[in-house]
Amino acid sequence: MIISNGTAVARIDSIGGGDGYQLAQNFYGGTGIELTGMWAGYGMLYKRQLWVGTVVRKLAMATARMPFDIKIAGPKGYSDENGPLAELMKRPNARLSGFRLWRWTSSTYDIYGEAFWVKLRDRNGRVRELHPMHPTNVVIRRDLDESSPNYGNLEYVYTGGTIAGAFAKWAEDDVVAFTSYNPDNMHRGLSNLEGLRSTLLNEDAARRANAAFWKRGARPSVVLKHPKTLSDPAIERLRRDFDARHQGVDQFGGTNLLEEGLEVQVLQLNAEEMQYVESRKLNREEVCASYDVPPPVVHILDHATFSNITEQLRSQYRDTMAPRFEDFEAVVDHQLVPDFYGFGEAMTRFNMDEVLRGDFETRATAVVGLVSNGVMRPAEARPLFGLDPAGPEADVLYANAALQPLGTVQRGQQQVALDGSLIPQPLALEAPKAAQRGRLTVRSIMGRLAQVKADKVATRDKLVAEHAKELRKFFDEQRASVKAAQSAKAAGLFEPTAWDSSLAEILGALSAATSQAIGTTTATDLGGSYDPTAISDWVNENAKSSAKNINQKTAEQIDDLDWPEEESPDDAIDGLFDGPVDARADEISWSRVAMIAGLAGLTAASQSGAATKTWNVNSANPRASHAAMDGETVGVDELFSNGMNAPGDPSGGADEVAGCNCGITFDF
């Protein structure tokens, strides 16, 4: 404040600045610059100078297209505001949309170095409308009316019209002022066009000279020579006759007829004049540099390459627009948000998420890496592609846990501490987790099944192969663990319960995929739909009980293992796992696929309204009892003559289920 006799007279905005302390000082904005032989206003330069208009429009459209978010502070951070401020920014007044307001603001700011909004309030002092106020019609000065509540502060006087015979004026609190940096004045901005004076002068001169060339030139400059001295009337007659025949664009290239002794000498452009095109290119690039716009953004591709064009286009928002947006946001937060919220309660931002995400392929690759490494949840990634966040299963973190610290040996063996010592642990109890060797999911299995474009039998065969492959991987892990325990002389070679959860997870995924594949195929054939959740609880419980039985059987086979003296322990273990255990992989696979497929098919048929079911033999060498049942039809809820609901029904016992390849069809 400026103090006079202990009384506050006026407020100052800087000390030692270029504004001075004159209370009656008026602050005027720039309006134009001088070109060759003429004065051009900033607005006229925008309309007449191609590259100025191009760059200003590019920046304006890039600004106006960005969503302008209003964020409200809460206990969990900032959330979207859908109140009066957001409504005001979407519809500033009855004749202006939010897009047009920002397009006008950006364009005016880039042309004049400043732009102003006027706040119109209701009787309660609440801001109801925003109106743009053109800077050429604005004079900024101190309010020296001692009776005014705005005394000593700035006021904005609008000189474009009068109200009740006087210029309209608004207090500083009723104006939102966007101003660029001006070294001489804190209240008025400085147009970028000021720094382009020489460039725009040269561009204007070159374009006017070019226009004059096409309007008045004669290929492009011609001298008529005569061996004798001619009188003034003769010279004027020859000039008029030559101009009438050859001057101007439409006369270019015509036939020339000369009087006796008259010669034509054409004056060619010299090397300096031939730099005309290059100077024009320099002018456009200087305009881009002044506005900090990469030339490729406005389709100047002279220095663009396949490797740098994408990066230069991205830099438009990352390097050029981001600082502009920060400036605009800061002005709105400082001069408009306080009319609606207290300090720190709300903020604004231009939402650049969409334009900075990159192309679809790049986003997809990046998101896969973030999700699979536990950085981002699927529920956070899906909205990046316009998808809903999905259910609770997508709101968890996933990670590939196959990575191990350096110095860690294969699973089933002891780990190495940082000092190089072995970490003691009961090796026989160490069981793998399914995620450690790549999580087996229903989606991954269904993706491989999609490659089988055949009938239900081919799908079943593929499912059996998937079961056998995963079981053999699992048995190989158990083999490695048993070898490690035997080598370390552990108390127990194999503890089956330590492996139950891992195998249950594998069987659960395989069973769910089998249920979905067979159930969906059956329902589709019947014109219905399949809901796998109807049997999902049973499938999960069965996977757990089956895993326990399978591991217990493996433990029994290991306990019964004969250790010949002439063989190494590893050879004996390999013989067991390559023989009886490996054979069990096929048996288990056939039995489980038959069981789950039969149940899923029966459930899908019931859900689709089927009335009957028929037993079909698919094997060339079936059981005699199954061969006798080929074609047997019963009600969909009835039992077949062997007491089974469908092929694979565990109630039939191992003799009826193991290796069974029969199928079932349904009808209405």
Exposure b/e, 521-559, CB count within 10 A at least 16 = b: bbbebbeeebebebbeeebeebbbebbbebbeebbebbe
pLDDT exceeds 60 at position 420:
no
pLDDT on residue 179 = 93
Q: Is the dihedral of CA 4, 7, 13, 19 positive or negative?
A: negative
Please, which pLDDT band fits residue 3 given cuts at 50, 70 and 90?
A: very low
Averaged pLDDT for residues 42-62: 88
Single out the residue of 461, 427, 610, 592 nearest to residue 524, CA to CA. 610
Residue type, 484: A
Please, which pLDDT band fits residue 450 given cuts at 50, 70 and 90?
A: low
Single out the residue of 191, 186, 153 nearest to residue 17, CA to CA. 186
Residues 6+ apart with CB under 8 A from 338: none
Q: Give CA–CA dist 80/90, Å, rounded.
A: 14
Longest Cα separation, the chain = 134
Exposure b/e, 167-177, CB count within 10 A at least 16 = b: ebbbebebbbb
pLDDT on residue 21 = 47
pLDDT on residue 492 = 67
- Tell me the whole-structure pTM to 2 decimals: 0.50
Least confident of 65-69, 338-342, 402-406, 582-586: 402-406
Start-to-end CA span in the chain (Å): 92
pLDDT exceeds 70 at position 479:
yes
pLDDT exceeds 50 at position 120:
yes
Higher-scoring residue by pLDDT: 210, 538: 538
Q: Across all residues in the chain, what is the average pLDDT?
A: 77
Least confident of 43-57, 470-484, 651-665: 651-665
Averaged pLDDT for residues 136-163: 84
Q: Give CA–CA dist 86/341, Å, rounded.
A: 12
Higher-scoring residue by pLDDT: 452, 179: 179
pLDDT exceeds 60 at position 582:
yes
Q: Give CA–CA dist 334/343, Å, rounded.
A: 9
pLDDT exceeds 50 at position 289:
yes
Averaged pLDDT for residues 136-151: 86
Single out the residue of 641, 634, 78 nearest to residue 349, CA to CA. 78
Q: Which long-range contacts (CB under 8 A, 24 or more apart) does 537-546 make?
A: 538/599, 539/508, 539/511, 539/512, 539/515, 539/596, 540/508, 542/511, 543/504, 543/505, 543/507, 543/508, 543/511, 544/500, 544/504, 544/508, 546/504, 546/507, 546/588, 546/592
Higher-scoring residue by pLDDT: 663, 92: 92
Averaged pLDDT for residues 261-280: 62
pLDDT exceeds 90 at position 210:
no
**Residue-range domain boundaries for the chain:** 25-193+292-355, 196-291, 426-600, 610-668
CB of 117 within 8 A of CB of 103?
no
Q: Give CA–CA dist 668/139, Å, rounded.
A: 86
Higher-scoring residue by pLDDT: 287, 452: 287
Bridge partners, residue 177, by sequence: 116
pLDDT digits (tens, 9 = 90+) for 610-630: 778 887 777 777 777 777 777
pLDDT on residue 458 = 78
CA distances from 52 to 257, 330, 535 (A): 46, 26, 69
Read off the tokens for 504.
């249950």
pLDDT exceeds 50 at position 415:
no
Please, which pLDDT band fits residue 436 given cuts at 50, 70 and 90?
A: very low
Averaged pLDDT for residues 275-281: 62
DSSP letter string, 338-371:
GGTS-TTTEEEEE--HHHHS--HHHHHHHHHHHH
CB of 405 within 8 A of CB of 471?
no
pLDDT exceeds 80 at position 205:
no
Read off the tokens for 281.
């290119």
Q: Which of 13-27, 153-167, 582-596 has the highest mean pLDDT?
A: 582-596
Percent of the chain with pLDDT over 90: 15
Q: Which of 129-143, 235-249, 273-287 has the highest mean pLDDT?
A: 129-143
CB of 616 within 8 A of CB of 460?
no
Q: Give CA–CA dist 536/516, Å, rounded.
A: 10
pLDDT on residue 612 = 81
Read off the tokens for 255.
């036939």
Residue type, 584: R
Angle at 346 between CA 345 and CA 352, to 5 degrees: 150
pLDDT on residue 220 = 45
**Helix pair angle (569-576, 456-487), 10° resolution:** 160
Please, which pLDDT band fits residue 400 given cuts at 50, 70 and 90?
A: low
Higher-scoring residue by pLDDT: 30, 21: 30
Averaged pLDDT for residues 126-140: 92
| Radius of gyration for the chain, computed over Cα atoms and rounded to the nearest angstrom | 43
Please, which pLDDT band fits residue 513 given cuts at 50, 70 and 90?
A: confident
pLDDT exceeds 60 at position 404:
no
Read off the tokens for 589.
């696979």
Read off the tokens for 602.
């029966």
Please, which pLDDT band fits residue 425 given cuts at 50, 70 and 90?
A: very low
pLDDT on residue 30 = 79
pLDDT on residue 451 = 65
CA distances from 399 to 371, 376, 390, 473 (A): 7, 10, 19, 21
Q: Give CA–CA dist 9/7, Å, rounded.
A: 6
pLDDT on residue 428 = 39
Residues 6+ apart with CB under 8 A from 393: none
Q: Give CA–CA dist 513/522, Å, rounded.
A: 14
pLDDT on residue 103 = 96
Q: Give CA–CA dist 467/478, Å, rounded.
A: 17
CB of 623 within 8 A of CB of 592?
no
pLDDT digits (tens, 9 = 90+) for 94-105: 999 999 999 999
Single out the residue of 625, 613, 612 nearest to residue 660, CA to CA. 625
DSSP letter string, 79-140:
EE--SHHHHHHH-SBTTB-HHHHHHHHHHHHHHHSEEEEEEEE-TTS-EEEEEEE-GGGEEE
Percent of the chain with pLDDT over 70: 73
Phi, psi (rounded to 5 degrees) for 245: -85, -30
Single out the residue of 203, 161, 169 nearest to residue 45, CA to CA. 203
pLDDT on residue 410 = 43
CB of 476 within 8 A of CB of 585?
no
Residue 435, burial from CB neighbour count under 10 angstroms (0-12, 13-18, 19+): middle
Please, which pLDDT band fits residue 88 given cuts at 50, 70 and 90?
A: very high
CB of 117 within 8 A of CB of 175?
yes
pLDDT on residue 591 = 82
Q: Which long-range contacts (CB under 8 A, 24 or more apart) does 523-526 make?
A: 523/604, 523/605, 523/607, 523/608, 525/666, 526/604, 526/605, 526/608, 526/609, 526/610, 526/666, 526/668
Higher-scoring residue by pLDDT: 416, 318: 318
Single out the residue of 651, 646, 616 nearest to residue 632, CA to CA. 616
Bridge partners, residue 32, by sequence: 41
Averaged pLDDT for residues 250-263: 67
CB of 25 within 8 A of CB of 19?
yes
Q: Is the dihedral of CA 432, 435, 437, 439 positive or negative?
A: positive
Please, which pLDDT band fits residue 406 given cuts at 50, 70 and 90?
A: low
Please, which pLDDT band fits residue 119 given cuts at 50, 70 and 90?
A: very high
